[in-house]
Structure 1
Amino acid sequence: MRREECRAAGSPGTTHTSVGPTLTWSRSDPPGTTTFASLNSSTLPAAVDEFGCPAVVKPRTGADGRGVVVVRDREALTRVSQGPWLVQPLVESVRTDGEQSVFVFDGRATSQLRKVAGNDDIRVHEHHGGASHPTPLDPAAAALATRTIASAGEVVGTNLAYGRVDMLHHQGRLVVSEIELIEPSLYLAEIPENAEAFADMLRTRL
């Protein structure tokens, strides 16, 4: 699909360099996938056009991959859920290298997962055919995750007790794709040690 076939009238939303489901900010460090926040249907086509097709459209607030749509042409825009949305480029490494997720408790990276997408999908969630595998903590990923949570804490004005940082390989480096600050799951089935790290954090905080 040619870039011009995704063009439509409207103005793009706000540019951000890092993205989470409810938290975005304009910073060059930590590095993140460029993201546009589109608040209504009139700005969505132009936000997609900033990347060209394919692009990824997801609800600004969501979980479990619900509402995530890969936009390959204008017709796909008719399948997106009700906004507001976030728009990102499709990072092809999610199909090959997968997504790296690092868990940070009280400012310390403790564990890491590699999440891979299912066939013909970009979502890494198990109910969409994806799979999660514990992997040794990579120093570069741990350092990026720690910096990211510290930066997020500066944005919201507090020392964050917990965060999970999702990362992808993009344009030759590891970048942040999403931050989870309110975790629906600590992936205890894959990393039972996260329970102890969580308990240690609570003991320190309480």
Structure 2
Amino acid sequence: MKIAFITYSGSVKYSGANGFDEIQDLLPFLQNKGLDIHAEIWDDPEVEWQKYDVALLRMPWDYHQKFEAFNNWLDRIEALGIKLLNSYQTVRWNIDKHYLKEIIDAGFDVIPSVFLEKEWDGNFSTIFNSLKSDQIIVKPCVSGGSRNTFKLNAETARGRADEIVTLLLDGAYIAQPFMKEIEDGEWSFTFFNGRYSHTILKKPKTGDFRVQQFFGGTIDRMEPEQSLIDQAASYLPAFAQDTLYARVDGVLVDGKFVLMELELVEPFLYLAYAQEAPENFYHALKEKVDSFKVNED
């Protein structure tokens, strides 16, 4: 099967580590394994999508800035009968942080969340009271890379209320309590075809709350106890079934894993931080593609 390795035209802010650069090295690694896979920019009008059987979402990292165009592209390649990894249903569900409400309503441990819709009146006091926190994080429901993300207390919130009300004209936002546990690190558990692969811990630089490398955050591989892996894996059967890749992000609160994000669209997989991770990803991808072939036969 011919596979499109989906990228975007923007710059890349992640750096390689441990002799493997996920941005530069993953595609040739997969090609050298014998897969018929080629990089394509998702919104390049010159791409002949009909020649592909499978589209693998790896780095369409500007989708949140071109949201309507991205959804139209999904519709177009689905109409061509191209298989998407992860699936169209999964991507459309996970692309908007309103999905967290479904997980909360199902009784899973998730950071408390309040959604700010276009009708919101800018009254932050009710948000702080609802979240029972004196510091909150506010970010778009469709976003990436901490874009338009605010850390607010009661005083700074009053000063940003009008700005955020204006931003809501372009889409809903989510408000969550600032979790002091983020200072101890955000855990990311990665699973391929539902099987555990590896874990990393991302820590913000001193005085910041953003864990991304391009904001000065650090990354370390972790070897968590099986009980912690099981807690992270518990979200998969209900919300990430039959996914090629799933990254489960969260913090430890009193030793218990609490979900921040379930990343099923285009997450960075931190393949460089576990020697076996690229091989794990390849075997999962081949398994998935082979299953498509069997179904077609």
TM-score calculated relative to the size of structure 2 = 0.56
Structure 2 equivalent of residue 36 of structure 1: 114
Written as runs of structure 1 = structure 2, the 5 A alignment for 1:47-66 is: 47-51=127-131, 52-66=133-147
Q: Counterpart of 2:262 in 1: which secondary structure? A: strand
Q: Counterpart of 2:148 in 1: which secondary structure? A: coil
- Change beyond 3 A, Cα 1:148–1:131: same
Q: Say which one has the larger Rg.
A: 2
Please state how far the C-alpha of 1:197 moved relative to its aligned partner. 1.4
Contact preservation (8 Å) 2:232, 2:257: no
Moved more, 112-121 or 139-148: 139-148
Structure 2 equivalent of residue 72 of structure 1: 153
Identity %: 22
Query: What is the distance in 1 between the residues matched to 2:236 and 2:262?
Result: 8
Structure 2 equivalent of residue 3 of structure 1: none
Please state how far the C-alpha of 1:53 moved relative to its aligned partner. 2.2
Match of 2:219 among 125, 132, 146: 132
Please state how far the C-alpha of 1:138 moved relative to its aligned partner. 2.9
C-alpha offsets along residues 162-202 of structure 1, whole Å, 9 cap, x if unaligned?
11001112255221111110134222333343221111111
Moved more, 84-93 or 131-140: 131-140
Matched, 1:194 2:194: no
TM-score calculated relative to the size of structure 1 = 0.78
Whichever residue aligns with residue 167 of structure 2, its letter is Q
Paired residues, number? 181
Query: What is the distance in 2 between the residues matched to 1:180 and 1:103?
Result: 9
Please state how far the C-alpha of 1:37 moved relative to its aligned partner. 1.7
Structure 1 equivalent of residue 286 of structure 2: 203
Please list every run of 5 or more consecutive structure 2 residues that lacks an aligned counterpart in the other structure.
1-93, 290-297
CA RMSD of aligned residues (A): 2.2
Query: What is the distance in 2 between the residues matched to 1:48 and 1:189?
Result: 39
Structure 2 equivalent of residue 82 of structure 1: 167
- Change beyond 3 A, Cα 1:167–1:21: farther
Written as runs of structure 1 = structure 2, the 5 A alignment for 1:1-206 is: 22=96, 23-24=99-100, 25=102, 26-29=105-108, 31-40=109-118, 42=120, 45=124, 46-51=126-131, 52-73=133-154, 74-78=158-162, 80=164, 82-83=167-168, 84-95=172-183, 97-153=184-240, 159-170=242-253, 173-206=256-289
Contact preservation (8 Å) 1:104, 1:145: no
Query: What is the distance in 1 between the residues matched to 2:249 and 2:161?
Result: 26
C-alpha offsets along residues 91-125 of structure 1, whole Å, 9 cap, x if unaligned?
10111x21111001111121000110112111100
Query: Which one has a larger percent helix, Structure 1 or Structure 2?
Result: 2
Query: What is the distance in 2 between the residues matched to 1:129 and 1:41?
Result: 36
Contact preservation (8 Å) 1:93, 1:170: yes
